[in-house]
Amino acid sequence: MTERVVLAYSGGLDTSVAIGWIAEETGAEVIAVAVDVGQGGEDLDVIRKRALACGAVEAEVADAKDEFAEDYCLPAIKANALYMDRYPLVSALSRPAIVKHLVAAAKKHGATTVAHGCTGKGNDQVRFEAGISSLAPELKCIAPVRDYAMTRDKAIAFCEAKGLPIATTKKSPYSIDQNVFGRAVETGFLEDIWNAPIEDVYDYTANPATPREADEVVITFEQGVPVAIDGQPVTVLQAIQQLNDRAGAQGVGRIDMVEDRLVGIKSREIYEAPGAIALITAHQELENVTVERELARYKRQVEQRWSELVYDGLWFSPLKRALDGFIAEANRHVSGDIRMTLHGGRAVVTGRKSAQSLYDFNLATYDTGDTFDQSMSKGFIEIFGLSSKIAAKRDLV
């Protein structure tokens, strides 16, 4: 029986060439799988037909936008997930979503191997292969660009020699990955970290320096889930899409950072994530109102570890699953409304309202009606500072 390889297929030059390349190198039949996580671009059926025209024996396409929003982006919102306190895990979140479809296709078609188009120096190779091995340890993984040195020059030559129906146009100066949660741009002149990004790098966001009227929005959450915008019910996908449009029009969500890759190098990345940043900002503020202090303090530690696990490709790991349970419990009372002003590249919270609020006006006010018994504070301070006081007496001798 002929071996079968499932290929993560995008419809572009590299993965189109990989179909024939893998067949020649391994003698296997190739099944192409394209997953729509909101990256835009060509129609899925066009991509499916191209895969078949390039030599795939089967081609599957999946509209996974809602699945991606509900099962991957939403947990990141609940976790206030920002790798290195800045990056909302745009690419890292999409990889396990794609992996799930690749593994399902491999099982369906009796494939023994899964292939992807990653290089040997990025994070995505780890995310794909660690995810695949977690869901289906029996599957092998190959990466033509990494394992068979399939450079772009070789890919173009192969494409022309085989007469494949794919345009070999001049390569963009940037490497771009995008989905509904955001957009990642790297390489080209951006590799010199002294170079400032120019406007043509951006697509999801307008120039925040351009004068325009501010946009006020109210986001409603129920147990950490965005359920309405300006009082109109939305799905998680619709919430992200609408805020991509509205926050993006105000230049919100631009991130220029040097990050620590899993493989040990530092990389300069430009991100655009207007919807993600607006939703995480709103969610963080609603937690400030509804989550008890000690739980909130500990959750911030969990958020950092959760973000690192997802960035490192360990979405399906036991620790990640366990932390998901903690985050779900911590979001049990995160319900209410957050009002934000989107303007000048910033999403600024201006109002908070929640039936689950722990904010007590009568305790907080300094005016008449104050119910806080200030006479208790003197004794509290004495006891609270006692251990430090005793140590200071010793250390100052």
Asked if residues 253 and 279 have their Cβ atoms less than 8 Å apart, the reply is no
Cβ-based neighbours of 19, under 8 Å, separated by 6 or more: 7, 9, 30, 32, 51, 54, 55, 56
Residue 124 appears among annotated catalytic residues = yes
Q: Are 128 and 108 in contact (CB under 8 A)?
A: no
Catalytic residue among 124, 127, 246, 267: 124
Of the residues 50, 95, 183, 346, which is catalytic? Answer: 95
Phi-psi region of 307 (alpha: psi -120 to 50; beta: other; left: phi over 0): alpha
What is the separation of C-alpha 365 from the centre of its chain, rounded to a whole number of angstroms? 40
- 14 catalytic per annotation: yes
The answer to whether 275 and 239 are in contact (CB under 8 A) is yes
CA distances, 14 to each of 20, 47, 53, 217, 385 (Å): 11, 13, 15, 41, 64
Decide: 16 and 51 in contact? Cβ < 8 Å: yes
Whether 85 is catalytic? no
Which H or E run contains 175? strand 175-179
DSSP string, 245-270: HHHHTTTTTEEEEEEE-TTS-EEEEE
CA distances from 75 to 83, 151, 276, 307, 328 (A): 14, 36, 12, 11, 8
Residue 212 annotated as catalytic: no
Which residues are CB-contacts of 56 (< 8 A; sequence separation ≥ 6)?
A: 7, 9, 19, 30, 31, 32
Helix (DSSP H) and strand (DSSP E) numbers for the chain: 15, 14
Instruction: Find all residues with CB under 8 Å of 143, minimum gap 6, and list them.
Output: 115, 116, 117, 118, 119, 120, 125
**Closest to 144 (Cα-Cα) out of 285, 9, 320, 322:** 9
Distances (CA, A) of 386 to 243, 294, 377: 50, 21, 14
What is each CA distance from 2 to 92, 110, 347, 365, in whole angstroms? 33, 10, 55, 75
334, 291 Cβ separation under 8 angstroms: yes
Active-site hit among 133, 175, 317, 354: 175
Q: How many residues does the chain have?
A: 397
Task: Find the catalytic residue in 14, 36, 94, 246.
Answer: 14
Q: Which residues are catalytic?
A: 14, 95, 124, 175
